[in-house]
Amino acid sequence: MTTRTDSPLADADGAVVEPEQLRRATLASSVGSALEYYDFYIYGLASALIFGPLFFKPLGDEGALIASFATYGVGFAARPFGGIVFGYIGDRYGRKMVLILTIGLMGAASFAIGLLPTFEQAGMLGAVLLVVLRIVQGLGAGAEQAGATTLISEVAPPRRRGFFASLPFVGIQLGTLLGAGTFALIATADKDVLEGWLWRVPFLASVILIAIAVFIRLRLKETPVFQELEKHKNVVKNPVGQLWKHSKKNVLVGIGLRMGENGNSSIYSALLVAFLAAPAGVFPGDKFIGPVGLLIAAGFAAVMVVTFGALSDRFGRVPVYRYGALFQAVIAFPAFYLVTLGNVTLVWVVMVVGIALGVQSMLGPQCPLLPELFGSQYRFTGVAMSRELSAVLAGGLVPLVGAALLAATGYSWLVLALYSLVLALISFVSTFFTPETKGRDLVSIEDAS
């Protein structure tokens, strides 16, 4: 007698889990995360390394870098608006629809960036169009990760939710590997070739990921939690209003938790890369060392994000998160001091430790924690707002403010260290206001408290 692999299974706590739905949800979320972070890294690296001379050449080296990072920050500024719009759709009409819309929006914008005219070809028109497309990217990204996190958390078995909810975030590392790997390769090319046409290739190549992601997501089913809401007529007409009425505290908690994780991710992946390659940096003009370091770190991070997610199933979300934030704070000064010694191996070790251990020790438990904080009626909106408001404050402003501070201080490493420390401490303190949510019933319309 054979056993059907797509038949419902009961988790240890009695929750019914459909293996086929769980597999599809994991794959769909992972591919979306890969595309988002592929876009994130190729745009971040391009901002750090080549967008300045391509689109903002008249501003000089430092001015062009700051302007380039400003366009990077504009995308983050757009994300809360995308979170509100698509969070509303996700809580009102279902999770699946949003995941198809956001992936198409992000991918189309990335592809179009690869077609833009540079300053030499069209003056400031290219810069204006770059800002517009970055805003479109931000609108789509504003709900992509929230959708992936909500989807997989509502499908996964409660006792192993940390493990399964962190699996799609391996896609983040895949996107990082693809993005950083692509830039590490093209950075070896002749400068004229790189700035002439080769920089376009990573953006145009995103169309491949778009096609795969849309195909997979079209085959998804709606989550059991949203089906229950529809069945009992508990879908609310105004999830945004309900969120602000009942859950302001948990949104603030989510924002605080994200500061150390998202902010340090931007510090290590964008600001540190710029610090290394700048004319006054550790390796002036080198466009290879930073991307290779990210490539190595992403390989370790792919394993560690799932490890920390699984640890949160055993020890709880809050303890794992708290010690992760504390670790990130403790290593801030020694890590960035070591970078200044000019040893390439030490630079790569710092990037691995900061990203694979520091950032992932917070991201792993965060994957299930944010969805568990909110009631089912406005969960998508709650996760999106927590993620994206913090993304503006941490991820978006870090490269822009950091680049300005580096220029003002003659590229002092203390800027990186202090920034990293402060953001990590904000998350550390936030854990003391965070309820433990491990194993929570996500069908509940009540918030965690």
| 88 falls within a domain | yes
Arithmetic mean of pLDDT, 371-394: 91
Nearest to 308 by CA among 254, 253, 354, 363: 363
Residue 12 banded pLDDT, cuts 50, 70, 90: very low
Residue 1 banded pLDDT, cuts 50, 70, 90: very low
| Percent of the residues in the chain that have a pLDDT greater than 70, as a whole number | 95
pLDDT of residue 16: 52
Instruction: Give per-residue pLDDT as tens, 25-50.
Output: 888 888 877 877 787 677 777 877 77
Residue 17 banded pLDDT, cuts 50, 70, 90: low
Q: Of the given ranges (4-13, 88-97, 224-233), which has the lowest mean pLDDT?
A: 4-13
pLDDT of residue 7: 40
- The answer on pLDDT for 289 being more than 50 is yes
| Percent of the residues in the chain that have a pLDDT greater than 90, as a whole number | 39
pLDDT of residue 47: 79
Token pair listed for 442: 């996500």
pLDDT of residue 23: 84
| 425 falls within a domain | yes
Whether residue 255 contacts residue 230, with contact meaning beta carbons closer than 8 Å, is answered with no
Residue 48's CATH number: 1.20.1250.20
Residue 10: count of CB within 10 angstroms of its CB: 10
Q: Which domain holds residue 231?
A: 18-433
- The answer on pLDDT for 119 being more than 90 is no
**Alpha-carbon span 305 to 318, nearest angstrom:** 15
Average pLDDT, the chain: 86
pLDDT of residue 123: 82
- The answer on pLDDT for 362 being more than 60 is yes
| 60 falls within a domain | yes
**Alpha-carbon span 305 to 386, nearest angstrom:** 20
Question: How many domains does the chain divide into?
Answer: 1
| 4 falls within a domain | no
Instruction: Give per-residue pLDDT as tens, 235-251.
Output: 988 998 999 999 999 99
- The rounded radius of gyration (Å) of the Cα atoms in the chain is 21
| 121 falls within a domain | yes
Instruction: Give per-residue pLDDT as tens, 133-170.
Output: 988 888 887 788 788 888 889 999 999 999 999 988 88
Whether residue 157 contacts residue 11, with contact meaning beta carbons closer than 8 Å, is answered with yes
| 91 falls within a domain | yes
H-helix or E-strand spanning residue 17: strand 16-17
| 179 falls within a domain | yes
Burial 379-394 (b: 16+ CB within 10 A, else e): bbbbbbbbbbbbbbbb
| 442 falls within a domain | no
Residue 341: count of CB within 10 angstroms of its CB: 9
H-helix or E-strand spanning residue 16: strand 16-17
**Hey, which bits of 250-390 come out as E strands?**
none
